[in-house]
Amino acid sequence: MSASWLDLPADSGFGLNNLPYGVFSTPGTAARTGIAVGEYVLDLAAVTGDLVHATGSLNGFMAQGPSEWRELRERVTGWLIDSSHRGDVEPHVLPRDQVQMHLPIEMADYVDFYSSQHHAENIGRMFRPDSPPLTPNWKHLPIGYHGRAGTVRISGTPVVRPCGQRKAPTEDSPTFGPSQRLDIEAEVGFVVGTPSELGTPVPVGAFAEHVFGVCVVNDWSARDIQAWEYVPLGPMLGKSFLTSVSPWVVPLAALEAARIAPPTRDPQPLPYLRDDDHPWALDITLEVRLNGALISRPCFGSMYWTAAQQLAHLTVNGASLRTGDLFASGTVSGPEKHQRGSFIELSWAGAEPLTLADGSTRTFLEDGDVVAITATAPGAVGGRISFGEVRGEVVPARCG
């Protein structure tokens, strides 16, 4: 790829092969769409003069569909390479550390899956030690649930420790109070741009016609609340208090070099989930940091179900897609201990506390803890592209 007239360090992760979209503002100005490039943000609303980029969310542009997404990406790339555009474009390039980022999506529906075999087996071994680690349906369909779209928030939103009912197996009745098992789930999120018609499924092969881009998700989870409430209808208050997303949405077009073959599925899934002609496993590496220290490196490439299969399953009953839908992968855990994407796995339900660099230990999160999850993937023409980070600090409960 040609060089830009803009100062772009080779290892920035935000080179011309990335160009992720976000929504930003500066003091006294309205939120609008920008593209991260190097240490800068390109003000798309100003440089294009197109009102679709001045709405404060990506939804209007995402709804236009893949040909418009492709066309704008080509135009922006041309502007940043060809120095004849420099005079027109450079006035609309701002330092990224001087802008405030906002939730980039006007959220529609939110679905969370459970598609890491390693994560599902770890959880199964901890909670159902006398049964097979995977439930009988697990290799036949991507298990998921509908979450709470209204509490999906931008990275940096404080994580107020949730209150609720908890009941340990050894207790006779539940108690109420702050969660004592507050946890993270390191996940990858997929943002829907093009809607679909009610009653018409979206096949695996139509994934790239509907999905606009990819972000990093932290599905904060209160394990004690979750364990008491989840049978028989699944997660509710143990998850719905907050889900955090990274501010930059990496377009699917930037991930062509990250596509890899999915793991072998045995048994073969039903025909609507077969993806031999549309492999969408993605070689994305996550990094989880607690108070600045690296504690895990989950690998997304090992997920059993891909996002294309998740989308096909999500719509196979005729459920329609809306612009701004978000569906997340489920906790990303690899086969090794240092690749686990949650504290419940890293500390084996609290039985094996992590020892931190300062000598302290952790099972679950404490007030004041800061968790940051970053992600990178191979980019076109080498190097790695960055997804930025999703971050949150735990603050004390407010239930008295």
DSSP summary character for residue 253:
G
Closest CA to 22 of 214, 241, 276, 162: 214
**Structure tokens given for 365:** 């999160």
* Min separation Cβ 239 and Ca ion, Å: 7
CB 351 within 8 A of CB 315: no
SS3 assignment, position 218: strand
Q: What amino acid occupies position 226?
A: Q
**Residue 56 Ramachandran class (φ > 0 left, ψ -120 to 50 alpha, else beta):** left
Q: Which stretch binds Ca ion (CB under 5 A): 128-136, 212-220, 283-291, 378-386?
A: 212-220
Binding flag, residue 219, Ca ion (CB under 5 A): yes
* Min separation Cβ 246 and Ca ion, Å: 15
SS3 annotation, 327-349: EECCCCCCCCHHHCCCHHHHCCC
**Window 3 to 32, contacts with Ca ion (CB under 5 A):** none
Write down the number of H helices and E strands in the chain.
Answer: 9, 26
The residue among 219 and 345 lying less far from Ca ion, judged by its C-beta, is 219
The residue among 184 and 394 lying less far from Ca ion, judged by its C-beta, is 184
Query: How far separated are the first and last CA of the chain, in Å rounded?
Result: 57
* Min separation Cβ 157 and Ca ion, Å: 17
* Min separation Cβ 145 and Ca ion, Å: 9
* Min separation Cβ 277 and Ca ion, Å: 29
> Under rule CB under 5 A, how many of the chain's residues touch Ca ion?
3
How many C-beta atoms surround the C-beta of residue 302 within 10 A? Answer: 19
Catalytically annotated residue among 119, 146, 210, 313: 119
Give me the residue whose beta carbon is nearest to Ca ion.
Answer: 219
Q: Which stretch binds Ca ion (CB under 5 A): 27-35, 67-75, 149-157, 213-221?
A: 213-221
**Window 85 to 124, contacts with Ca ion (CB under 5 A):** 112
**Residue 27 Ramachandran class (φ > 0 left, ψ -120 to 50 alpha, else beta):** beta
119 is known as an active-site residue: yes
The residue among 85 and 148 lying less far from Ca ion, judged by its C-beta, is 148
**Window 165 to 204, contacts with Ca ion (CB under 5 A):** 185
Q: Catalytic positions, please? A: 119
Contact footprint for Ca ion (CB under 5 A): 112, 185, 219
